[in-house]
């Protein structure tokens, strides 16, 4: 489903954000990506949806080499991946409902279909009562859940979240992780970057650990089935 072959990433010369990364994540897996701040977590995630390009190495997503996807067809890859950004990336001048609807609107879906899906995912993340609010008028935890709702509204095959509990207290963080577990239970491959060790212990899943751009020696980079 997602495979990295000897991937390197340099933003600046002689400095590797990622160094010789190989990994394989199976369809439907739940994977944590962990490591200190600056270890390369965000970079690794951005490579998956081609927001950044690798300096070296090959990346396969849904068995297509994303290096070879032309700019004009990049949208097809993006439609397969739901992304929860570290900074949420919600539009301040749109309501919760409108923000969540964006991925469907850009696909040209019918209004009725959009309405059905948005209502459904807002209920799923427990935000039905906030649908007409603007992002600035709801709490950080709620904004986080709006971002999650937007990531899953388009029925993606993969959901990626970059430190989704970064600004939340423990109780809200657990709630958010429960939502991801439910998403994963529907067969969606789920990859979450976090450095919250407490939560990692509470949710024992396959964990990839980065240290200065490399996987630590104890990190099993193959699919979970193989390592168990």
Which parts of this chain interact with ligand ADP (CB under 6 A)?
11-12, 17, 35, 37-43
CB of 101 to ligand ADP, least distance (A): 29
Report d(CA 28, CA 93) in Å as an integer: 35
- Helix, strand, or coil (residue 87): coil
- Rounded to 10 deg, the angle between the 111-124 and 96-105 helix axes is 130
Closer to ligand ADP by Cβ: residue 96 or 191: 191
Report d(CA 77, CA 156) in Å as an integer: 10
Q: Check residue 150 for interaction with another protein (CB under 8 A).
A: yes
Closer to another protein by Cβ: residue 6 or 107: 107
Among 36, 53, 91, 226, binds another protein (CB under 8 A): 91
Closer to ligand ADP by Cβ: residue 36 or 185: 36
Report d(CA 3, CA 65) in Å as an integer: 9
Closer to Mg ion by Cβ: residue 42 or 184: 42
Closer to another protein by Cβ: residue 79 or 205: 79
Identify whether the C-beta of residue 162 lies closer than 8 Å to the C-beta of residue 193: yes
Q: 11 contacts which partner out of another protein, Mg ion, ligand ADP, none, CB within 5 to 8 A by kind? A: ligand ADP
**Cβ count near 175 (within 10 Å):** 16
Nearest Cα to Cα of residue 78 among 184, 182, 188, 159: 159
CB of 131 to ligand ADP, least distance (A): 31
Q: Check residue 75 for interaction with another protein (CB under 8 A).
A: yes
Report d(CA 187, CA 136) in Å as an integer: 33
Nearest Cα to Cα of residue 87 among 169, 147, 151, 32: 147
Binding string, 92-111, against another protein, x = CB under 8 A? ----------xx-xxxxxxx
CB of 41 to ligand ADP, least distance (A): 3
Among 17, 23, 42, 194, binds Mg ion (CB under 5 A): 42
Identify whether the C-beta of residue 81 lies closer than 8 Å to the C-beta of residue 48: yes
Identify whether the C-beta of residue 189 lies closer than 8 Å to the C-beta of residue 2: yes
Measured in degrees and rounded to the nearest 5, phi and psi for residue 46 equal -65, -30
Closer to ligand ADP by Cβ: residue 40 or 154: 40
Write out the residues near Mg ion by the rule CB under 5 A: 42
Write out the residues near another protein by the rule CB under 8 A: 49, 51, 71-72, 74-76, 78-79, 83, 85, 89, 91, 102-103, 105-111, 150, 154
């Amino acid at each position: 489903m997602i495979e990295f072959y000897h991937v390197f990433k340099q933003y600046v010369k002689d400095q590797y954000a990622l160094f010789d990364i190989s990994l394989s994540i199976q369809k439907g897996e739940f994977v944590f990506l962990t490591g200190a701040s600056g270890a390369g977590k965000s970079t690794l995630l951005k490579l998956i949806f081609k927001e950044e390009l690798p300096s070296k190495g090959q990346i396969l997503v849904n068995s297509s080499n994303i290096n070879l996807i032309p700019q004009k067809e990049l949208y097809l890859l993006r439609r397969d991946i739901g992304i929860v950004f570290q900074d949420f990336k919600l539009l301040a001048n749109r309501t919760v409902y409108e923000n969540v609807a964006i991925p469907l609107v850009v696909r040209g879906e019918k209004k009725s279909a959009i309405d059905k899906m948005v209502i459904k995912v807002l209920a799923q993340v427990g935000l039905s009562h906030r649908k007409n609010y603007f992002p600035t008028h709801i709490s950080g935890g709620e904004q986080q859940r709006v971002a999650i709702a937007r990531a899953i509204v388009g029925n993606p095959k993969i959901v990626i979240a970059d430190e989704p509990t970064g600004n939340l207290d423990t109780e809200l963080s657990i709630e958010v992780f429960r939502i991801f577990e439910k998403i994963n239970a529907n067969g969606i491959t789920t990859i979450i970057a976090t450095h919250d060790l407490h939560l990692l212990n509470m949710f024992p899943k396959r964990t990839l650990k980065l240290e200065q751009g490399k996987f630590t020696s104890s990190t099993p980079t193959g699919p979970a089935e193989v390592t168990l």
